[in-house]
Amino acid sequence: MGVLINPSILSADFANLERDLGVIANADYAHVDVMDNHFVPNLTIGLSVVERLVQVCPIPIDTHLMIENPDRWAPGFAEAGAASVTFHAEAAQAPVRLARELRRLGARAGLALKPATPVEPFLDLLSEIDMLLVMTVEPGFGGQSFIEGTLPKIRRARAAISEAGLDVWVQVDGGVSRTTIERIADAGANVFVAGSAVYGADNPAAEIESLRTLANATPHSH
């Protein structure tokens, strides 16, 4: 289970997305936040933009759907070529059916939990997903500070995954930076979404490598 750095284009220049995807070509995935102004109080980009990003992105695309009714809408993102499609547990009516459909369409299936959503109800379903996204800020806006209280949840998730002998990635999104990534990795996360930390850096590519080095320095990441 290697360390993956997935910069969030929420902090990129929306008028120059192709250019700003090129800037993070040394990352593992590009994290694309889809928000519908219903599930979260913000509106970003939708399926037609993601379809084009898939075509021009130098690395695979990891979509995070912060939307209502993902049962209906999420499969379209898999069909568009997103390598990973994550939907929210709080919004899905039939999460296992949806995860199976995403996998059938060739995408990795991700299940996302808001900071206040407990992981326990989903531990028995871990074999049905490829990734668990533990939100470490309230979803909707970039640039928020990391919520320390999410670390025990990351630990419990990783312990359950290890105990079951599963290869499920644990992703964190929110407030990931040089000052927080080591603690997050130590708790058991292996996929790190960083938006403002990467795009706000003078050299985004170097910042990605710094984050990767820090995350790899913790015992859990090996």
Domains along the chain with CATH numbers:
4-221 (3.20.20.70)
pLDDT at residue number 12: 95
Q: Tell me how far CA of residue 155 lies from CA of 110, 148, 188, in angstroms.
A: 18, 12, 6
Query: What's the rounded mean pLDDT across residues 147-173?
Result: 98
Looking at the annotation, which residues are catalytic?
A: 33, 173
> What type of residue sits at position 45?
I
How confident is the prediction for the chain on average, in pLDDT? 96
Give the other-Cβ count within 10 Å of 117's Cβ.
Answer: 16
Residue 221 has pLDDT above 90, yes or no: no
Residue 219 has pLDDT above 80, yes or no: no
- What's the CA angle centered on 36, arms 31 and 38, to 5 degrees? 130
User: How remote is the C-alpha of 170 from its chain's centroid?
Assistant: 9
Question: Is the CB of residue 149 less than 8 Å from the CB of residue 128?
Answer: no
Give the other-Cβ count within 10 Å of 100's Cβ.
Answer: 14
7 — pLDDT class (breaks 50, 70, 90): very high
Residue 1 has pLDDT above 80, yes or no: no
pLDDT tens-digit profile of 27-39?
999 999 999 999 9
pLDDT tens-digit profile of 101-136?
999 999 999 999 999 999 999 999 999 999 999 999
Count CA within 13 A, CB hemisphere, residue 92.
24
pLDDT at residue number 220: 64
pLDDT at residue number 105: 98
Q: Which residue has the tokens 């130590």?
A: 186
Question: Is the CB of residue 4 less than 8 Å from the CB of residue 30?
Answer: no
Query: What's the rounded mean pLDDT across residues 133-143?
Result: 93
Query: What's the rounded mean pLDDT across residues 67-77?
Result: 98
